[in-house]
Amino acid sequence: MDKIFRIFNKESGSVNQAALLLGCLTLLSQILALFRDRSIAHFIGPSPQLDAYYAAFRVPDLIFVCIASLASITVLIPFISAKMSHGKVTKEAEKFLGDVFTVFFGGMVVVALILFLLMPHLVFFIAPGFTPFYQAKVVLLARIMLLSPILLGLSNLFGTITQLFHRFFVFSLSPIFYNVGIIIGAVFFYPIFGISGLVYGVILGALAHFGIQAVASHYCGFTPRFSFSINFKEIGKVALTSLPRTLGLAFNNVAEIGMTSFASFLAAGSISIFNFSFNLQSVPAAIVGVSYAVAAFPTMARSVSEGRNDHFKQHLTSASRAIVFWSIPATFLFIVLRAQIVRVVLGTGYFSWNDTRLAAACLAIFSVSVLGQGMISLVSRAYYAKGETTRPLILNFICSVLIIILAFAFMKIFENVSMFRYFIESLLKVNDIPGTEVLMLPLAYSAGTTLNFILHWIFVKIDFMPGEPYIAKTFFQSLGASFFLGLVTFLSLNALSSVFDTTRFIGIFMQSLISGTLGILAAVVVLYLLKNQELKDLMETLASKFWKAKIVAPIQEEL
């Protein structure tokens, strides 16, 4: 274990090293999340009761984002570090953490109790289209889930200590335990307790998430205790520092509540299809966008604090081009392989062929926004590094409201304009199955997210890089290579359809794996011929033993 910790504590030589290592670890976490979704698809499948489960998540998620992120890791670490002496725990540091623990725990419990009582009224905003029976089911499940944000929030608080003492390996285990808990809920609890069993799995996962951080924190010398003489002035500083980011995350969650509300009026299983496809597209978004954003932020912040503006712009440009380099090929790959991806991950048990086709169509639309999601995550942090929080806050608010408006507008157009409906259904090859109205939700999300990215891009050029090259060259090189990637992948799929038995898991898996690999090789050749700088940087990073770089732990609210 000592050797493992030494590996994780080594400094990284570049943002690429840290991002690539973080991306690999995130990939492991995302793979387990896919097993989680596969278990839910197999044992339950898109249905009214699974819709109720996903709808019940909305309020606890909003609580976690609004309250837990006020005491987020990135904000607490500087405060605690300033109160420690040569890396050792002091009474002042213990007192500060005790104050935060007391206020946070008390606030979370009070808010949870209030929402427990208000839940029968809130359900009319979350799922107004549900029947009274399933609205009551949402109330029951959401009330049980109110334990989850308390446990995850406390885990987030204790996680500050594990990061502070470089226990990154332990920190990275928490999301794995959380997903394992949900898998246990789907496999073992659901057959006994019904859909409530899946929620019990969520609580079990949250308890494991919290437990591992609490034990690690105790061994680091920090054991938070309730404080009865709280320094509210310092607590206020922590909350004010976190407020812009908290509001930005809250806007996104409000948009998700709006789309859940609209989906509750659609065919049974629509909310489930929406969430399954959203989780699938989150894999490249998390591995690429969030990894580079999290890895680049400390360097950008340090550059600003040292007054090295050129260094700041260099790292922002490098990370932006890397996100473009990875995201556009991922978008093309997911669009071409959408049906194969859904069949491999979700096509089992109660997940029918029509569910597969509908989820694949949603995945294709969601994939268009992968680049936008990654760039927003990075550029927002660039503004935070500069101490300018107003711009991203306003843009995120406007585009979150726009997503809700577009969802309503697209659904009305889809319902009343037959030409538009026929175009969308024919384009995505779902014109012969019911429930296609759900496609308007990912369309609204992708449109709003893409506009958000474009606005961020424009303002970055104005505020940080007036008249300087940014990502245009990389964008067009990556776009050109991605066209060849998509073409080769598509042709390979058709050629291999007669080689493998595509009615079985192994046949679909091998067909998609070989086709995707050939497409990626074609893109690499094109990028090599174009003398793409990001490809050259990637080769150098792979040769630099990036796995020995210091791990940059992900922000729990975003992964």
| Average pLDDT estimate for 45-61 | 94
- Model confidence band, residue 17 (pLDDT cutoffs 50, 70, 90): low
Does 15 have pLDDT greater than 80? no
* C-alpha distances in Å from residue 526, one per residue of 418, 483, 534: 41, 10, 13
Does 237 have pLDDT greater than 60? yes
Distance of alpha carbon 236 from its chain centroid, rounded? 28
Whole-number pLDDT of residue 123: 95
Tokens of 66: 């609004």
- Model confidence band, residue 514 (pLDDT cutoffs 50, 70, 90): very high
* C-alpha distances in Å from residue 407, one per residue of 413, 430, 456: 10, 19, 22
- Model confidence band, residue 403 (pLDDT cutoffs 50, 70, 90): very high
- Mean pLDDT is lowest, of 152-156, 242-246, 380-384, for 242-246
With a CB cutoff of 8 Å and minimum separation 6, the contacts of 99 are 227, 230, 231, 234, 235
Mean pLDDT of the chain: 85
Does 559 have pLDDT greater than 60? no
Please give the Cα distance from 511 to 492 (Å, whole number).
8
- Model confidence band, residue 7 (pLDDT cutoffs 50, 70, 90): very low
Question: pLDDT digits over 178-196, tens only?
Answer: 889 999 999 999 999 999 9
Whole-number pLDDT of residue 8: 38
Question: pLDDT digits over 470-484, tens only?
Answer: 788 899 999 999 999
The percent of residues above 90 in pLDDT, for the chain, comes to 49
Does 11 have pLDDT greater than 60? no
Whole-number pLDDT of residue 242: 75
Question: pLDDT digits over 90-109, tens only?
Answer: 777 778 878 888 888 888 89
- Model confidence band, residue 5 (pLDDT cutoffs 50, 70, 90): very low
Whole-number pLDDT of residue 133: 95
Whole-number pLDDT of residue 25: 64
Question: pLDDT digits over 418-448, tens only?
Answer: 999 999 999 999 998 999 999 999 999 999 9
CA 538, 540, 543, 547 torsion-angle sign:
negative
Whole-number pLDDT of residue 103: 86
Comparing 538 with 185, the larger pLDDT belongs to: 185
- Mean pLDDT is lowest, of 156-160, 174-178, 376-380, for 156-160
Of 443, 463, 494, the C-alpha closest to 382 is 463
**Do 172 and 25 form a contact (C-beta atoms < 8 A)?**
yes
With 0-12 CB in 10 A as exposed, 13-18 as middle and 19+ as buried, what is 353?
Answer: exposed
Please give the Cα distance from 76 to 474 (Å, whole number).
36
Please give the Cα distance from 516 to 278 (Å, whole number).
21
CA neighbours closer than 13 Å in the CB half-sphere of residue 68: 27
Please give the Cα distance from 438 to 276 (Å, whole number).
12
- Model confidence band, residue 355 (pLDDT cutoffs 50, 70, 90): very high
- Mean pLDDT is lowest, of 122-136, 171-185, 357-371, for 171-185
**Do 164 and 77 form a contact (C-beta atoms < 8 A)?**
yes
Comparing 498 with 540, the larger pLDDT belongs to: 498
The model's pTM: 0.87
* C-alpha distances in Å from residue 378, one per residue of 296, 461, 483: 8, 14, 25
| Average pLDDT estimate for 37-41 | 94
